[in-house]
Amino acid sequence: MKRKKIVAGNWKMNMNLVESKNLISDLKEISAENVDVKIAPSFTNLYMANSSLESSKIEVVSQDIHHEQKGAYTGEISAEMLLSIGIETSIIGHSERRKYFNETDLILSKKVNSAVQNSMKIIFCIGEELSDRNNSNHFEIIKSQLTNGVFHLESKEFKSVVIAYEPVWAIGTGMTANSHQIQEMHEFIRNLIKSNYGVEISENVQILYGGSVKPTNAEEIFSLKDVDGGLIGGASLNSSDFSNIVKAANGG
């Protein structure tokens, strides 16, 4: 089974309008036959980004959605609003949302449901803290995040999910998980998906790695059997780093 690689840039709370325009104009040069390239700017820049990249193959995605369609939720953005500006995919469950905004598994499962009901695609993030790994709880944590967050979906719904494994201790720290740790966890995740949804879906689901991916380590990480690309933070804010990471996913 040949799964297409994905390289997605999560800009987090970076890049104002002018900076976003500049970065996007540099990214337009990126072309990679074998890679689906995505960027996730902040909400305020999504409309501009999507319009600017209309004729390119780069997909613009959101960093989050709220679980309700509309209503008295000051400051929030719904799936329906995103769709109305042409955004068809959202990241859900990033560890920074879990940690700083107290997003529980229950909230995340509602967000997942909202995305599915609106026919949006999902990049669902999971990852253990360093203390979980040190206590050898990392497999349990990952299993419970998946079970509570996405495994309630029916098979046909699950097909719109991409998983991003991002060990929290590797995010923004320069401390990338090593190849053994990454492959072992990705295989574990794929096997869990196989138990829940069968071989075909598990062989098709794309599992991305995130956590200090850089041009220098991308090729090695992307060459691992169960790694189907990356979710890139810091390095996605630099056009040459990001395009070199895309090149690494495209086969060097």
Residues belonging to the active site = 94, 166
Joined together, the tokens standing for residue 175 give 């401390």
Q: Which of 82, 116, 163, 171 binds ligand 13P (CB under 6 A)?
A: 171
Q: Which of 41, 93, 149, 211 binds ligand 13P (CB under 6 A)?
A: 211
What residues numbered 129-158 form the site for ligand 13P, per CB under 6 A?
none
How far is the CA of 64 from the CAs of 40, 76, 183, in angstroms? 9, 10, 27
Q: Tell me how crowded residue 137 is: count the other CB atoms within 10 A of its CB.
A: 14
| Strand order, beta sheet including 207-210 | 59-60, 35-40, 5-10, 229-232, 207-210, 161-165, 121-126, 89-92
212 counts as binding ligand 13P under rule CB under 6 A: yes
* Options 15-23, 70-78, 135-143, 211-219: segment touching ligand 13P (CB under 6 A): 211-219
Q: Which of 5, 6, 10, 98 binds ligand 13P (CB under 6 A)?
A: 10
* 237 Cβ neighbours under 8 A, 6+ residues apart: 9, 11, 14, 15, 23
172 counts as binding ligand 13P under rule CB under 6 A: yes
198 counts as binding ligand 13P under rule CB under 6 A: no
Q: Which of 93, 115, 234, 242 binds ligand 13P (CB under 6 A)?
A: 234
> In the complex with ligand 13P, which residue's Cβ is closer, 149 or 234?
234
62 counts as binding ligand 13P under rule CB under 6 A: no
167 counts as binding ligand 13P under rule CB under 6 A: no
> What is d(CA 92, CA 77) in angstroms, rounded to the nearest whole number?
13
Tell me the residue ranges of DSSP E strands in the chain: 5-10, 35-40, 59-60, 89-92, 121-126, 161-165, 207-210, 229-232
H/E run at residue 194 = helix 179-197
166 counts as binding ligand 13P under rule CB under 6 A: yes
CA 105 distance to own-chain centroid? 17
> What is d(CA 155, CA 101) in angstroms, rounded to the nearest whole number?
30
* Options 67-75, 105-113, 186-194, 232-240: segment touching ligand 13P (CB under 6 A): 232-240
61 counts as binding ligand 13P under rule CB under 6 A: no
End-to-end CA distance of the chain: 20
210 counts as binding ligand 13P under rule CB under 6 A: yes
213 counts as binding ligand 13P under rule CB under 6 A: yes
Residue 40 C-beta: closest distance to ligand 13P, Å: 8
**DSSP-H helix ranges across 67-178:** 79-84, 95-100, 105-117, 130-134, 138-149, 155-158
> In the complex with ligand 13P, which residue's Cβ is closer, 175 or 199?
175
78 counts as binding ligand 13P under rule CB under 6 A: no
Which residues of the chain form contacts with ligand 13P (CB under 6 A)?
Answer: 10, 94, 166, 171-172, 210-213, 231-235
